[in-house]
């Protein structure tokens, strides 16, 4: 059997694993069922398994036949607080929780890759660390805690790789770029103090809803008028809260939003500007604006140029050169960045969209689902990355 055939023979297994995780989504660090299943599976392969790394993360170590480098393959395990709207036989059984980002697929692919690699131990010089991370979706995220718990050492990780299913790209493609791959996702909160009163006597009040509205518009001028257009910035207000009744001017309003940038320096500049613009708009309308929150998120994922070429070479063997997409960075956040700050490596999208099958809804939507036919491709990427980096030979 060729390697491709061997992987393909486990197609049902990887799909079954994925569906099982999909039916039993768990959130954040609270992953008792998921991490136990991962741990049991890795133990059944005879791997050395560590549990409770980064609270509920799991790490499996496969030692190759000879000495060599240690590479890390990473999958995230957590779901989202979303009520699933799909009508599928393997729909989420847990109310208000759903795998709406594809992490069920990431976990299943890495487990099956571990199974294949375990049977190819003799071809591996060095070690492969299988890293199953909790709480990717929620800052501060599992990666930083796993690093604090020593995941990059004993043995020391020389290179790190990971993938994310991507419904933005057609099934059977891989999207990758050297350098910046994702953004830093920051969070801000503003509290506007007005003066409450009767809706019919606006002149006797200070309306915080008007101030909030002006701030929402004013913040966009930071992006359009104050920042270099070639240094991307996104400011999104995702939540405004104020008032209880239709005929009362409330006392307070609150605005919460996110800022996306490609580097921390720009993020700090934008934070200052948000404060200045919102406080001055508040003053112009006789209100007071306080910045109640500013949380700097994960750093951007930065791909090493040499490792990016390596992944592209492997992708040629897995999906063919024509299916490799040279992408631009996306403004989502990903805490794979912490691992890539410690070891060179690469992170990439595995295209999972299939319009004909109706599988093209965006990540984090209640009807998100992806084309399961790509799962074996992800397994093959992991397997070939391990074999190729471990033996130092070109893929084939």
Q: Looking at beta carbons only, is 101 or 146 nearer to Zn ion?
A: 101
Q: Which residues contact 132 (CB under 8 A, 6 or more apart)?
A: 35, 38, 57, 58, 59, 60, 74, 75, 76, 77, 107, 110
Closest CA to 347 of 330, 371, 359: 330
Q: Which residue has the tokens 């996702």?
A: 185
- Strand-pair partners of 345: 160
Measure the CA–CA gap between 396 and 390, rounded to whole angstroms: 14
- Asked if 281 contacts 200 with a C-beta cutoff of 8 angstroms, the reply is no
Q: Residue 259 to residues 28, 256, 375: CA-CA distances in angstroms?
A: 22, 10, 32
Residues that bind Zn ion (CB under 5 A): 101
Q: Is 90 a catalytic residue?
A: no
Distance of closest approach, residue 314 Cβ to Zn ion, in angstroms: 22
Q: Looking at beta carbons only, is 14 or 101 nearer to Zn ion?
A: 101
Distance of closest approach, residue 131 Cβ to Zn ion, in angstroms: 15
Q: Looking at beta carbons only, is 222 or 375 nearer to Zn ion?
A: 375
CB half-sphere exposure, 113, CA atoms < 13 A: 32
- Asked if 107 contacts 92 with a C-beta cutoff of 8 angstroms, the reply is no
Q: Looking at beta carbons only, is 185 or 282 nearer to Zn ion?
A: 185
Q: Which two tokens stand for residue 244?
A: 């209880």
- Strand-pair partners of 198: 248
Q: Looking at beta carbons only, is 101 or 374 nearer to Zn ion?
A: 101
Q: Residue 6 to residues 1, 112, 163, 171, 337: CA-CA distances in angstroms?
A: 6, 11, 21, 21, 32
Distance of closest approach, residue 137 Cβ to Zn ion, in angstroms: 5
Distance of closest approach, residue 61 Cβ to Zn ion, in angstroms: 25
Q: Is 372 a catalytic residue?
A: yes
Q: Residue 212 to residues 174, 241, 249, 273, 349: CA-CA distances in angstroms?
A: 42, 9, 13, 16, 37
Instruction: List the catalytic residue out of 84, 136, 184, 372.
Output: 372
Distance of closest approach, residue 165 Cβ to Zn ion, in angstroms: 8
- Closest-by-Cβ residue to Zn ion is 101
Q: Looking at beta carbons only, is 53 or 82 nearer to Zn ion?
A: 82
Closest CA to 304 of 142, 392, 181, 152: 181
CB half-sphere exposure, 131, CA atoms < 13 A: 32
Distance of closest approach, residue 232 Cβ to Zn ion, in angstroms: 20
Instruction: List the catalytic residue out of 298, 307, 348, 380.
Output: 298
Catalytic residue IDs: 298, 372
């Amino acid at each position: 059997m060729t390697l491709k055939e061997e992987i393909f023979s486990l197609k049902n297994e990887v799909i079954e694993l994925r569906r099982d995780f999909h039916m039993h989504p768990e959130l954040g660090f609270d992953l008792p069922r998921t991490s136990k299943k991962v741990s049991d599976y890795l133990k059944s392969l005879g791997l050395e398994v560590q549990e409770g790394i980064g609270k509920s993360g799991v790490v499996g170590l496969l030692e190759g036949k000879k000495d060599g480098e240690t590479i890390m393959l990473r999958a995230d395990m957590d779901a989202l607080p979303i009520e699933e709207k799909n009508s599928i036989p393997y729909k989420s059984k847990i109310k208000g929780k759903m795998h709406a980002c594809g992490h069920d697929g990431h976990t299943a692919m890495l487990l099956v890759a571990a199974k294949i690699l375990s049977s190819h131990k003799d071809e591996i010089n060095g070690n492969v660390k299988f890293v199953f991370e909790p709480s990717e979706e929620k800052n501060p995220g599992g990666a930083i805690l796993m690093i604090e718990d020593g995941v990059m050492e004993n043995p020391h990780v020389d290179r790190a790789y990971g993938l994310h299913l991507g419904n933005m790209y057609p099934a059977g493609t891989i999207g990758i770029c050297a350098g910046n791959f994702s953004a830093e996702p920051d969070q801000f909160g503003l509290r506007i103090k007005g003066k409450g009163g009767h809706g019919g006597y606006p002149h006797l009040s200070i309306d915080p809803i008007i101030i909030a509205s002006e701030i929402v518009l004013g913040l966009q001028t930071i992006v359009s008028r104050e920042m270099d257009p070639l240094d991307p910035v996104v400011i999104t207000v995702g939540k405004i809260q104020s008032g209880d009744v239709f005929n009362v001017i409330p006392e307070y309003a609150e605005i919460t939003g996110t800022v996306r940038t490609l580097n921390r320096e720009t993020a700090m500049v934008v934070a200052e500007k948000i404060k200045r613009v919102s406080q001055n708009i508040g003053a112009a309308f006789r209100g007071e604006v306080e910045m109640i929150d500013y949380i700097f998120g994960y750093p951007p994922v930065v791909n090493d140029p040499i490792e990016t070429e390596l992944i592209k070479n492997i992708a040629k063997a897995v999906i063919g050169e024509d299916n490799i997409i040279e992408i631009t960075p996306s403004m989502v956040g990903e805490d794979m960045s912490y691992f890539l700050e410690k070891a060179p490596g690469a992170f990439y999208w595995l295209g999972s969209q299939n319009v004909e099958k109706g599988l093209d809804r965006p990540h984090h939507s209640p009807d998100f689902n992806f084309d399961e036919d790509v799962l074996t491709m992800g397994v093959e990427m992991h397997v070939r990355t391990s074999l190729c980096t471990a033996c130092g030979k070109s893929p084939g």
